[in-house]
Structure 1
Amino acid sequence: MTSHEVVEICAGAGGQALGLEKAGFEHALAVELDENAVNTLKENRPSWKVAMGDVANPATWNPSDYQGISLLAGGVPCPPFTIAGKQLGATDERDLFAWAVKLVQTVQPEALLLENVRGLSMPRFSGYRQHVLDTLASFGYIAEWKLLQASDFGVPQLRPRFVLVALKEDHAPYFSWPELQGPALTVGETLQDLMASNGWELAQQWATRADKIAPTIVGGSKKHGGADLGPTRAKRAWAEMGVDALGVADNAPIKGQKFPVGPKLTCEMVARIQGWSDEYPWVFTGRKTTRYRQIGNAFPPPVAAAVGRSIMRALRHEGSPSERISADHDAIYLALRGSDDFVSTARLLRAGGKQIDPSELERRISLLKRDFDIETIESPSGTQYKLTGFKAFVGQESHVRHHLFEKNKSRIS
C-alpha cells in the first residue's frame, strides 16, 4: 500500500494529528509554537519529527523539503476570525490562514486541509474567502468550504468548525464531504463513569440532568486567565446541566460531596467531551491550566478522522467521480478583482444584483477594505474603486506581522 504522508502546521496538542493518523496518514512533520503542546506530541508519538517555533520562520522548518507531500494540514490561529473577538482578519498578526494557502505553491501537496472557527464563514470575510479560492485555483487546486458540527460526528458538543479542503484537479472529482454519523451521546452519558470514579453517589442523578450536548469548549489563550468553560452564555448552559463552569477540577467528586451548582469537570472529562476516548487515546502533559488549553483548543479527533478519510479516498480515487467546483462568495470582490482599472459604482451595483443598493455597496466596500487595499477616486459619474492589494501576511519579509509577532509572542498560543 502506498504511504500517504502529512505535514501538519500549527499542530497543537494533537487532535487533528490523531484523527489524520486514524484516517491512514503518516506524519512526516508536525510544527507547533507552544512548548506544552510540543511536549504532549512527543509524549504520545516519540517517533514523529516535531519542530517547535514560529511556523512562518524559515529557521523552524524548510517547506521545500516536503515538496509533493500527500497532505498539508493545520489548524491555524482562530482569533483573527472569532466572533467573540475584533475580527481583524488579514490585519491580525496571528493570521496565518493566507500564509498557509500561499504555502501550497511551495509544498505542492496533493491535498490541503485547514480548519478554523465559524466566524470565518460570516459575511465579514466573504472577500477573504474568495481570495483563498482564487489563489488555490491559480495553483491548480479545486477548493471547498464546509461548516461542520462536531456533534454530527459523535462528539458530545456543538463545536462548529469551518473547514477548507483543496485537492489537485485530478483528485478533486473523487472527494465528497463525510457523511454525518448520527446524534452524539449527551454530556451525562459521556461522563457518568468518570463522575462516579471516586465514589460520588449522585453521579447517575447528575447524568440524568446533564442530558444535552455540551456548548463549545473554549480553550482560551495566554492573554487570559486560568481555565474555565467559556463565556457567560456558555456558563449558564453548563449550569443548567449541573456543571460549575468557573474553573476545572483536579479530581472527580468524592462520596458525600455536595455542590451549589454542580461539580466542575476535570481535564480528563473535558478531553472526553472533545472526542478523546478509548478509541482515540491520548495523554496530555503539563500543569492543569496548560493541559486544559491544549484540550480546549484542539480539533476533535473524530471530526479530523472523518474528513481525513474523505481526503484519503479522493487521493486513492475510490468511488465514482463527480464534477466539483470552487463556489464564488463575493460578487463585489469578484468585480473588483476582475478589473485592472477603476470600477464605477454603477458597475458594482450591477454586479451585486438586486440585493445591493448604494448603502449596502458602501458597507460591503468598507468590509473589503479591512482585508484589502482599495483606492477610490471621484468622477462626474460618482465614486470609482480599484483593488490594489491584499493586506494579509503571505510570507513577506517586510510585513508588520513579524514585528507584532515578536512583540506579542509570549501571549500567543
Structure 2
Amino acid sequence: MTEQPLRVIEICAGAGGQALGLEKAGFEHELAIELDENAVNTLRHNRPGWKVVQGDVADPNVWNPADYAPGLDRRPVDLLAGGVPCPPFTIAGKQLGATDERDLFAWAVEQVKVVQPRALLLENVRGLSMPRFAGYRQHVLDRLREFGYAAEWRLLQASQYGVAQLRPRFVLVAMAPDDFAHFYWPEPVGEPPTVGEVLLPLVSANGWKGAEDWAEKANAIAPTVVGGSKKHGGADLGPTRAKRAWAEMGVDALGVANHAPGPDDEFPVGPKLTCEMVARIQGWNDDEFQWAFTGKKTSTYRQIGNAFPPPVAKALGVAIAAALNRTVERQERDPDREHDEIYRVLRKSGDFMTAAQIARALKRTLELHELERRISLLGRDFHIDISNGKAATAYKLGQFKAFLGQDDHIRHDQFDLHRSKIS
C-alpha cells in the first residue's frame, strides 16, 4: 500500500466536475488541460494552486505526454483521466465517430502507452455503448491489452450516485491486471433525490409563494441536462423530449433564468432554472461539492451542462484508489468481454476473408445480411478493403480512421477550421 498521495493528470477537464470528484476521492491534480477559455478560468478560480493549461490537448506545444512518463527520478502518474468530447458519439448527432475532428477518445488511449499511468478513466455519452461503435470499443480494448492493461466498459447512471438526474455515462477504466483484480465498480447509493427536493431552497430564495407546491409537483429526477455546443444558440435544457419532461415537473426549459422567482410570480408552465439550479441538478452543492463558475450566463450554463457530475466522479475515484492501494480484496474476473467478434477475426487474420472463412473462425453460422451490416458499421471507423472475386466477396480490415496523433491526419485542418465552434 502506497503512503504517497495519488496523482492525476486530467485531459479535457472542462469546468471541473470530474476534477472536483477526483479531488474528493483523494487524488491530487498534477496537471489539468482544457480548450475552452471560460472553463479554464473557472478551474483557476476554484483551484489557483493547480497547474491548468489552456489549449488543444493533442497539440504537443500545449503539453508533451512524454514529460509525464515514469523515469529514474519520477514515479508513474497514478491516474490519467478525462471526459473527451462527446459529439462524435452522441445519439442526437451524426455519430461520425473516428471521422469527427472532435474525436479524441482513441488518441487519449494511445497516450497510455506514453504516460504509462497506473490507471485510466475516460467517460463519454451513452451513444458510445451502442452497436454502431462495437468495433471502435473493441479496438480500444485490444490496444490497451497490447499496452499491458486490463480494461472494462460500464454504463453508469448518475441517479444511482445521489444525483437528481438520469444522465447515463459510458465509462472506461483500465489498470495493470494485478491492480484491476482489486477494482470494483462503485455500488449505487440508494434512491436519488427529486428535482423538487434539491431545488426547493434555491427556488424559494426570493420568497416565491408557489415554491412548496412547485416542489411537490417536481417529484421526479431530471432528464439529462444538455450543455450544447458553440455551434448552436443560447442555453436551454435540452431537445424537445427533454423539454416535455421538464414541463411535466413544472419547469420552463426554453432558456435559463437570471434569478429565482419573486414572491408573486406566476408562470404558464413553471419557472425557468438558473445556472445555480442546474449546477445543483448536476451534483454541485453547498456542502461537499462547492464550486463557483466564471463567465457570462450562456458560457456558465454550457460549463455546467457539459460536465461530469462530481458525485459520480468521486465514486469512481474512490473505487480506483481502493484498487491501486489494494484496500479491497482481490476478485477473480475476466474483463475481456468481446464487443465485436467480426472486427477481432479480421484483425487477427490481417488478410482478406470471405463470409465462409469468417463464419468458420467464429465457429457459428453467419448470415450474409448480418455480415454486411457489421462490415458497413466497421467501415465508418476503419478502412475496409473489399475484393469481389469470382467465387465470393472477401473483406480485409484496414487502418483505423481515428486521429491517433498522426502529423498528416485530416483532424488538424478540420480542427483549425472549426476551432472557434468546438466545445
Tell me the TM-score normalized by structure 1.
Answer: 0.99
- CA deviation after TM superposition for structure 1 residue 235, in Å: 0.2
Aligned residue for 2:169, secondary structure, equals strand
Structure 1 residues 113 and 322: alpha-carbon distance in aligned structure 2, compared to 1, 3 A threshold: same
- Which of 19, 25, 49 lines up with 1:17 in the alignment? 19
- Which of 98, 101, 112 lines up with 2:106 in the alignment? 98
- CA deviation after TM superposition for structure 1 residue 227, in Å: 0.3
- Which of 329, 351, 355 lines up with 1:345 in the alignment? 355
Quick one: distance in 2 between partners of 1:326 and 1:288?
44
Structure 1 residue aligned with 2:252: 244
Is the CA contact (8 Å cut-off) linking 1:331 and 1:351 kept in structure 2? no
Structure 2 residue aligned with 1:49: 51
- Which of 264, 288, 299 lines up with 1:256 in the alignment? 264
Alignment of 1:79-228 (within 5 A): 79-228=87-236
Quick one: distance in 2 between partners of 1:203 and 1:16?
31
Quick one: distance in 1 between partners of 2:90 and 2:26?
31
Structure 2 residue aligned with 1:385: 395
Is the CA contact (8 Å cut-off) linking 1:332 and 1:351 kept in structure 2? no
Instruction: Report the residue type matching 2:213 in the other structure.
Output: Q
Structure 1 residue aligned with 2:72: none
Between the two proteins, the alignment pairs up a number of residues equal to 413
Is the CA contact (8 Å cut-off) linking 1:227 and 1:248 kept in structure 2? yes
- CA deviation after TM superposition for structure 1 residue 349, in Å: 3.3
Quick one: distance in 1 between partners of 2:366 and 2:212?
55
Consecutive unaligned residues in structure 1, runs of 5 or more: none
Is the CA contact (8 Å cut-off) linking 2:96 and 2:380 kept in structure 1? yes
Instruction: Report the residue type matching 2:243 in the other structure.
Output: K
Consecutive unaligned residues in structure 2, runs of 5 or more: 70-75
- CA deviation after TM superposition for structure 1 residue 35, in Å: 0.2
Structure 2 residue aligned with 1:283: 292
- CA deviation after TM superposition for structure 1 residue 327, in Å: 1.3
- CA deviation after TM superposition for structure 1 residue 283, in Å: 0.1
- CA deviation after TM superposition for structure 1 residue 388, in Å: 1.8
- CA deviation after TM superposition for structure 1 residue 352, in Å: 5.4
Is the CA contact (8 Å cut-off) linking 1:54 and 1:60 kept in structure 2? yes
Structure 2 residue aligned with 1:311: 320
Instruction: Report the residue type matching 1:62 in the other structure.
Output: N
- CA deviation after TM superposition for structure 1 residue 62, in Å: 1.4
- CA deviation after TM superposition for structure 1 residue 353, in Å: 6.4
Quick one: distance in 2 between partners of 1:19 and 1:352?
42
Quick one: distance in 2 between partners of 1:37 and 1:402?
23
Instruction: Report the residue type matching 1:396 in the other structure.
Output: Q
Quick one: distance in 2 between partners of 1:255 and 1:346?
73
Is the CA contact (8 Å cut-off) linking 1:342 and 1:385 kept in structure 2? yes
Quick one: distance in 2 between partners of 1:390 and 1:130?
12
Deviations 1:107-146 (A, max 9, x none): 0000000000000000000000000000000000000000
RMSD after superposition: 1.0
Quick one: distance in 2 between partners of 1:177 and 1:299?
17
Quick one: distance in 2 between partners of 1:201 and 1:241?
17
- CA deviation after TM superposition for structure 1 residue 351, in Å: 4.7
Aligned residue for 2:380, secondary structure, equals coil
Quick one: distance in 1 between partners of 2:366 and 2:332?
31
Structure 1 residues 331 and 210: alpha-carbon distance in aligned structure 2, compared to 1, 3 A threshold: same
Deviations 1:325-348 (A, max 9, x none): 221111110110110221111122
Deviations 1:166-211 (A, max 9, x none): 0012211110100111111000011011110000011000000000
Aligned residue for 2:178, secondary structure, equals coil
Is the CA contact (8 Å cut-off) linking 1:349 and 1:358 kept in structure 2? no
Is the CA contact (8 Å cut-off) linking 2:163 and 2:282 kept in structure 1? yes
Deviations 1:269-325 (A, max 9, x none): 000000001210000000000000000000000000000100000100122112332
Quick one: distance in 2 between partners of 1:350 and 1:123?
23
Instruction: Report the residue type matching 2:118 in the other structure.
Output: E
- CA deviation after TM superposition for structure 1 residue 355, in Å: 7.3
Quick one: distance in 2 between partners of 1:209 and 1:160?
24
- CA deviation after TM superposition for structure 1 residue 356, in Å: 4.0
Quick one: distance in 2 between partners of 1:341 and 1:350?
15
Quick one: distance in 2 between partners of 1:234 and 1:32?
28
Deviations 1:378-401 (A, max 9, x none): 223311111121000000000000
Quick one: distance in 2 between partners of 1:138 and 1:392?
18
Structure 2 residue aligned with 1:357: 367
Instruction: Report the residue type matching 1:13 in the other structure.
Output: A
